[in-house]
Homo-oligomer: A and B are copies of this chain.
Amino acid sequence: MSEERVLLAHGSGGRLSHELIRRVFLPRFAGEALARLDDSALLTFGEVRLAFTTDSYVVKPLFFPGGSIGRLAVCGTVNDLATAGARPLYLSAAFVIEEGFPFAELERVVAAMQEAAAEAGVAVATGDTKVVERGGADGLFVNTAGVGIVPPGVDISGHNARVGDKVILTGTLGDHGIAVVSAREGLSFATDIVSDVAPLNRLVAAMLAAGEVHVLRDPTRGGLATTLNEIARQSGVAITLDERSLPVRPGVRAACEMLGFDPLYVANEGKMVACVPAVAADTVVARLRGERYGENAAVIGEVIDGRPGRVYMQTAIGGTRIVDMLAGELLPRIC
């Protein structure tokens, strides 16, 4: 163990990330909020319930079709707050900058943050800047933490999936991951693919107004497959997916085939997966389809009484396969 070193896959969001959390972080930071392993912690101050979350962003390149590290840093944290059903209100913004980084690029990043914050209706309330010498960091890393208010009565958690719930996905799979990797690698066959990075708090508010929601999570690193495995474990249920119902843009599907990727494991930054009672599913989907960022919403599966933690897929050709958590690292520095 003293010889062990951190691998890229420890940052994948998949199996090794979970191992790292369970082995290194949970034993030391043993609090109720963290132990729930939701994307946001729930903090209670008398009558006031707040969601609190953080993410560091190390995406490469800093600018990609449809977004930038700035837009990502705001939307990613807004969306993590939204997964608790919270109304995001305040962000912190902390920059680690490599010496020699162009001022003009920093200004573009900050402008993108401002624009995304305005769209989400959040304020950047506090910040920090560190500069490290040339070679000490790769251009720019951004961290945001966020605070949002959880309305009374809202109780949304990865622990709340119930047998019979329908699984809803708010749109197409894999756009962000393929957009970033195509920009990074200069892939000519994927030039029309644009990241889906977007703040989803208004979409989530519309969803909550339409019907009861048990679970919300944004399928980022590790993709939909990893996110559903997390939900199935946390709730002690099984989930089954219908492959034919999964929305994937043709360009993303083609890029995935050429690259050998499965869209189930590719990161999204503008999508939510939800578990809702079956009776509410159609109403919720109809409402989502009328909202910005929800046009391609669909029921993609359901929560079943199977082996706890297992995710299955009914394939297009009529078979069933197990969908596991991401193993290894598919796309480093995707967010």
Contacts and interface: CB of A to CB of B under 8 A. Distances in A.
B47 A94 contact: no
Interface stretch (A18-26, A234-242, A256-264): A18-26
Contact of A6 (B45, B97, B135): B97
Contacts of A93: 25, 29, 54
A335 to B, nearest CB: 8
B52 A110 contact: no
Given A58-B130, A92-B52, A92-B54, A103 B136 contact: no
Given A1-B103, A102-B5, A11 B54 contact: no
A110 B24 CA distance: 7
A1 B11 CA distance: 36
A149 interface: yes
A56 interface: yes
Nearest to A145: B145
A104 B3 CA distance: 8
Interface stretch (A120-128, A175-183, A275-283, A315-323): A120-128
A101 interface: yes
Nearest to A128: B55
B6 A131 contact: yes
Nearest to A126: B41
A133 B333 contact: yes
Interface of A: 1-2, 4-12, 17, 20-21, 24-25, 28-29, 31, 33-34, 40-41, 43, 45-48, 50, 52-58, 89-90, 92-104, 106-107, 110-111, 113-114, 117, 123-133, 135-138, 141, 143, 145, 147, 149, 332-333
